[in-house]
Amino acid sequence: GTILLKKNRQFSDPKDLLFGGRVGFNSRLGKIDDEATIFGSYPLIKKALDTLKFDVSYHVDDGYKKVELYKKSPIIFDFNRESTSVIPTGITFSIEVLNDLEYRIITNESFEDLWIDETFRFEEKVNFGTFEFTISKVAERTNTHSQDKILVQLHSIENLAYSFKNELDFEEVNSLSSILTMSMNTSVPEKSIDFINALIGGYIEQNLIDKNEVALNTVRFIDEQLAIISDSLNNKEQNLENFKSSENIAGLSIAGSMIVDQFNQIETE
């Protein structure tokens, strides 16, 4: 993955509007290192993994090793991620497609002292202790690995985030560039490509949120300052009117009026 780190011309603190502030990069090298740290941060990586639903993986055993079926599985294992507090990680669900309507599922370990070795219908809700899930067929993949036993494993997104974090490598294109590249060594290139794209997408989205927040704070700060200045000007104007009345200078000469006008203009500025 490659991303251009654009120079930020936006004030980070609204008060910097008054005092000149700090704008843009302190140094190019510092910016590259900072952004690489952000890309490798746990919250950003976790968000990318959540978006891609990498907490479920599908494999087949070809007799020599397990091969991951990324975007090629003839079935989809799904559960409610928002309401599920505990998921059976570390357990392998062996699923055999029997026909267009049914499948057989076997677990290799127990969860909450329960095992599964039973036949269910596709789309049927299955209760595995407190864990509830459904399995559906992917119509366009019915001829791909449909005769094999699909091995499904569930993963902790938190643990995955640390794993992906350790697999990410960052480097600069050259010493004078503000382009950052990131890469991974992987046995499933398509999966890593999707992850890096999701990571960059999440970074851009977070940048936009931050910029919008700064813009809103800046507008709020300006409005507050305008209100204070407006109140101050009103008080000055009232004081001037009171002074005119008390000193009876309403009938000043033309030259005197011009001086008062100049005074008012200076006060306004």
Residues 206, 200: Cα–Cα separation, whole Å? 10
Three-state SS for 137?
strand
For the residues 25-31, what does the mean pLDDT come to?
52
Model pLDDT for residues 60-87, shown as the tens digit of each residue: 988 788 899 999 999 999 999 988 888 9
Per-residue CA distances from 81 to 78, 121, 136, 164, 199 (Å): 9, 22, 17, 20, 20
**How far is the C-alpha of 181 from the C-alpha of 160, rounded, in Å?**
22
Higher pLDDT, 67 or 30: 67
Nearest to 215 by CA among 9, 26, 43: 9
- Determine the pLDDT at residue 24: 45
CA gap 89, 49 in Å, rounded: 16
d(CA 55, CA 81): 10
180 CB contacts (<8 Å, ≥6 apart)? 2, 3, 5, 32, 35, 36, 39, 170, 171, 172, 173
pLDDT, tens digit (0-9, with 9 covering 90-100), for 92-108: 999 999 998 999 999 99
CA atoms within 13 A on the CB side of 97: 24
Higher pLDDT, 86 or 251: 86
pLDDT tens by residue, 123-138: 999 999 999 999 999 8
Please report, rounded to a whole number, the percentage of residues in the chain having pLDDT higher than 70.
Answer: 84
pTM: 0.71
By the 8 A CB rule, do 93 and 151 touch?
A: yes
